[in-house]
Chains A and B, each alone.
Chain A
Amino acid sequence: MPDDIFDAVIVGAGPAGSACALTAAAGGANVALLERGEYPGAKNVQGAVLYAKHLDAVVPQFWKDPSFPGERNITEQRVVVTSGREDWINFSFRGGRYKTEPPNCFTIIRTKFDQWFAKKAEEKGAQLFTGVTVSEPIRTNGSVKGVKTSDAEELNAHCVVACDGVNSLIAQKLGVIDEWKMDEVAMGVKEVLAIPKEKIDDRFALEGNEGLTIEFFGSISQGMIGYAFLYTNKESLSLGVGAKLSDLRRKMIKPYDLLDFVKTHPLISRLIKDAKPLEYSAHLIPEGGLHSMPPLYGDGFLIAGDAAQMVNPTHREGSNLAMTAGHLAGQTIVEAKKNNDFSKSALAAYERKIKASYVWPDLWEHRNVEKNVEKDPSILEVYPRLLCEAMYHHFTADDRPKKEHKKETMKMFLKERGLFKMIQDAWRLRDAIG
């Protein structure tokens, strides 16, 4: 480990850490990026859909880089609502505008992406050290002045940025968070399944580099807050399911049994037919949102990404918030270096930047969504079932006039849920869709 004093030591080479290191180094700061994996991405799991706009802000025109490891450009996004095992409804949006470069979003394989992204940071002058687990921050006179590693080495810096993900040891050791509670995180389990490109194109009606995402809600999550997902890569599918850890605990469902429940669903089993498992993985997802967010800065430290609970679960966005936060933290470091001031009041600029970006308003808007669902989790089961029933009446032709079918559908909604309750549900869920 080098003896020099870095302007910043950044812990974790995920989307937040690499964005931070790249931006800070590009602005002239002397930064070290520390990663506990043997290579960036070795420990990381994502769906994985990545959003172009926020990466473009850090690596302008990244899509023109021939080494950029994008999988498919997402042109179609689908929601499937399941009731029981046999009924489901599809909503799909295919946007012609998503065919342009850069796409709105695209699929990635995290290990490839993380290595590419960290390399981009290195090209700007950041020093990457892999296979280094940080064990604690070093404090001098109350201010953070570096880190200690699990091999008892020390690295000195004017500030430390915790980009170490959902299980942020750094934030814990800084005393700004406790262990998360089970209802502040979800557990995601996932498989990558190999399947030839032509089969993917045929099965999902795609052409060339077009890609599709599907999220499954309803009976698929067995009454738990969560959903399953199926994303198309070039020559593989990513299939996974996530549920609140507190819900898994309540139901005592083994995560891999839940994954099998998903894989054997009649629709999903057809979509993944003959696909060969390449890898299984599990990871936590922060879901506490704004209510769980720690202070984002202090004397000599900043916190970004999953470590700061920056995830918008209703939109499956996390990596973009992490990249944006890392980028803004990087800018803050460049300014702090210019003014030679890494004090708490100087680093407060980071929080102002976060609040001025989309990160804060999005987290604010979604802050109560999960809490509202938890007040009455039957929402998760009742509506998918009622919607499927309504569809059944709509499409069924029998001896009864259509009017009677409509009446019966209305009666069913009123009986099962009631007008007042439906208005209450709509109110509770209003922010989930926005």
Chain B
Amino acid sequence: MSSVQNMAVPARLKPPSSALDVNAVRGDFPLLRQRVHGRPLVYLDNAATSQKPQAVIEAMKRFYTEECSNVHRGVHELSERATRAYEAAREKVRAFINAREAREIIFVRGTTEAINLVAQSYGRTQVKAGDEILITAMEHHSNIVPWQILCQEKGACLRVAPINDAGELLLDEFEKLLTSRTRLVAATHVSNALGTINPVQQIVEKAHQRNVPVLLDGAQAAPHLRIDVQTLDCDFYTFSGHKTFGPTGIGVLYGKAQWLEAMPPYQGGGEMISSVTFEKTTYNVIPHKFEAGTPNIAGTIGLGVALDYLNQIGFERIVAYEHELLLYGTEALSQVPGLQLIGTAKEKAAILSFVLEGIHPHDVGTILDREGIAVRTGHHCAQPVMDRFGVSATSRASLVFYNTREEIDALVAGLHKVREVFGT
């Protein structure tokens, strides 16, 4: 066993007592201790990227100080250790999303690359002129643009299932858009701009009734929800390490083995081949067929430790805690005069997107920043969502299990300051 696999998670988190101890959890995230503009940092931009627990930082440091070596290449001890740690991380990801087999886990840079891989590899071979790709009106640009590129190349058509004023998918409309021409459904599990949790189980069922495979964008789901790709029965699932308390530059594409085996490689190079001559190259088996070149080894190891950390806290506790936080935040923000929440779905993750009457989100963001409060302002890489709600931008507070009620109170106080500056 490599030391990396034994990465200790703080003992105090171990016995699964009922409620989450937020103070203990916060202690695991060194970055949260700092002050910004002289104020304690209130980090509410977790949907953009989450902070990393000490265990992840230590694991990556340990890789570089004790184990750094390439994977699947050398016969020497270090390479052996690095390979074992790398493949152990793959197994951790498999268990995290309950995939059937570890070879169904492809390491990529992030959700964006995972979707592009499917668009290029599955799309290039399975999509023809006149075919359709079906997405929803709440997708992140990274689950729109790769399909647009594909559709343009192939003469295929991108269809978009509409949402209601609460930001919920209209399932009936979605179903009507599933036709004999639909080659793939690509839908987000949780919306980054609205917080909506999509009815993914039903989406998959309805698509499968028509033999249409489904890709789920789990970038905003993996940090908040327990994911079981076998129960979902989705064909592809994607998420990003950096939004899931792991490092940047590492992400996951899950694909059912039968798809991955049938799909052509995404990129060519080392590692993805089993033999090369100038006449003919035989591709490696999955997952290696899709992992050309030296992978992000340290990032992969860090991701594995991040998932260990999440498992130690436990999704039951995370879901319960975040739900309570969401209710508290929704109530608190609703008390701010002139504030309108954008995204009020019944099923929501702890994401609070809002506009303040007469004050541009960019100004809100600047003023909150001086209070030490980090929120995202802008279109959140979801311009069609902004258009749907008739706004050019929103401010977004995205919460995770290390956020507190006190931080929401600080946000509300900050918003009152914003209104004071603007004299409203």
The answer to whether A binds B is no
* Interface residues of A, Cβ cutoff 8 Å to B: none
